[in-house]
Amino acid sequence: MSPQVIKLSSPATREFWPLAVLHEDDHLLVLDKPAGPPAAPGEPGMAGRPSLVGLLQQGIREGRPWAAERRLSFLRHVCRMDAEASGVLVLARNPEAHTALVNQFHAEKPVVDCVVLTQGVPPESRFEVRLRLSPHPKDPTRMRVDHRHGKKSVTLFERIETFAGHALWRARPLTDRWHQVRLHLRWRRLPVVGDPVYDGPPLLLSRLKPDYRPKRREPERPLIGRAAVHWQRVELRHPATGETIVFESPLPKDFRVALKYLRRYAPAAPAVGWGPADQAGD
């Protein structure tokens, strides 16, 4: 049986997104977000772009079939998820669930496990970053470190796998700030692959494969064409029952392709970690 999908479109920008439903009940709707569209309004650099939450709320107002069949009248996001990121997007279906879930995301306890690919490999396999972040006063696309006026942000990092010149990390943000994981890694001089906002270089096959032959008259496309951040796992207490529930999103194709070529052409000794991000690899 194929998974249920909610199809969203933005006529203004001529974009279309099919969102797989990972879980739904009377209190929650959990979707598998693709990389690219903003999850919710307010993200730096995304002014004017339609957000998935905004389109979902519009669909509820217009009585779209997917909203009517679910009897949706309320839908709100519970945390900040960057447009560049893919993976588990948790939405609340009523005000009480929204309050309970927001409190969990702001409790400074691990809720989200992100998989992140970076350039650079530090000697330590685990570290923590604590910084104060605020919007950049001159660049609306960025956040910045602001020790005096910024808001507290904390992320735990553990290395999963090591390559020649790159590393795969498990990131566990304990606070909920825009661009938190990406900026924390940049602060440690580990820019996220494919993230030009924070100086993350593209991952090119020509730099990995010794006998690479480019196509004539075509620029080389990166193996992963966006910031390599994936929200792989979210663990929460159910807002109504208190039961521990886990939602997982498989690595998308672009992430799997990037790891496939790194493992083939840039192998290094594996580091001690929480296990591989995906079992198949290919």
CA atoms of 156 and 77, how far apart (whole Å): 23
Nearest CA to 128 out of 170, 168, 156 is that of 156
Q: Answer whether 193's CB lies under 8 Å from 202's CB.
A: yes
Residue 12 pLDDT: 87
104, part of any domain: yes
The CATH number of whichever domain residue 144 belongs to comes to 3.30.2350.10
49, part of any domain: yes
Residue 216 pLDDT: 78
Residue 269 pLDDT: 52
Please give the tally of structural domains in the chain: 1
The alpha helices in 9-87, defined as continuous H runs, are 52-62, 65-70
Nearest CA to 209 out of 266, 270, 253 is that of 266
Residue 281 pLDDT: 39
The structure tokens 């990390």 sit at 169
175, part of any domain: yes
Q: Which residues contact 249 (CB under 8 A, 6 or more apart)?
A: 22, 32, 86, 87, 88, 230, 231, 232, 233
Residue 48 pLDDT: 86
Q: With b meaning 16 or more CB within 10 Å and e meaning fewer, what string describes 14-37?
A: eeebebbebebeebbbbbbbbbeb
276, part of any domain: no
278, part of any domain: no
270, part of any domain: no
Q: Answer whether 69's CB lies under 8 Å from 215's CB.
A: no
Residue 164 pLDDT: 94
- Tell me: the pLDDT tens digits for 106-141? 988 889 999 999 999 999 999 999 999 999 999 999
Residue 277 pLDDT: 52
In the predicted model, residues of the chain with pLDDT beneath 70 are 1-3, 269-282
Joined tokens for residue 249? 């999103």
CA atoms of 166 and 161, how far apart (whole Å): 9
Can you give the pTM of this predicted structure? 0.92
Residue 215 pLDDT: 79
The burial class, CB within 10 Å (0-12 / 13-18 / 19+), for 259 is: buried
274, part of any domain: no
Residue 136 pLDDT: 95
Residue 3 pLDDT: 67
Q: Which domain holds residue 131?
A: 5-265
281, part of any domain: no
